[in-house]
Amino acid sequence: MKSLVLPALVLSCCLATLPARAEYGRIGLYRDTSGAVNQITGGAGQLELYMLAIDPVLDGRPISSLRGFEALVSFQSPVDFLLDASFPVPSINVGSLGNFIVGFGEPVPVGYGATLIATLMVQTLGRPESNIFLGPSQPPSHNGYLTVLDGEFNEVLMEPSSGDPLRPVFLINSDGLIQSASWGATKSLFR
């Protein structure tokens, strides 16, 4: 018994010193300002989408306000495009329409959960699948990450709401990541 105590103690001390993966906030596109609807079915037309910063944190602490953000909007379908973008406060975008490198003229208060950082007007033909992606702006401040600026102008790393720039954040006429299956097929997964 005594021979197991020392290795267990050493192992627990070593594991306690391992760095933990930082949790990042997310940026996503939604049809509502609460961040609940990120998929629609429909035909051609214009869509008003809301870009939301969800739970931005810096060093494990919630952020109280935002001073800007960086994100790149791209489309799966070559015939879909961004018509316009507006921001919640007077702002400047030194990127281009779709390649957002935005500074807010005044702080945008971070609400509980989701905070509106841009309103986008998208033109889609809605066929057959027209997914929208978010990724790092070009050039990015941090490779592989979207970024927001907190109230003190600190850069805060963010991820797309899908968790990966190669996965869509908004789905149009798409089955998305959900597949239908029969009960027998579902049971066979656990055999």
Question: Which residue type occupies 45?
Answer: G
Would you state the pLDDT for residue 6? Answer: 52
**Mean pLDDT (the chain, rounded):** 85
Q: Is the separation of the CB atoms in 68 and 115 below 8 Å?
A: no
Ordered by where they begin, the domains of the chain are 27-174 (2.60.40)
pLDDT digits (tens, 9 = 90+) for 12-48: 544 444 433 346 899 999 999 999 999 998 888 999 9
For residue 7, is pLDDT > 70? no
pLDDT of residue 21: 39
Higher local confidence (pLDDT), 187 or 39: 39
Sequence letter at residue 36: A
Q: What is the DSSP letter of 96?
A: B
- Single out the residue of 143, 146, 161, 134 nearest to residue 66, CA to CA: 146
Q: Say if strands 81-86 and 114-124 run parallel, antiparallel, or are unpaired.
A: antiparallel
Number of H helices, E strands in the chain: 2, 14
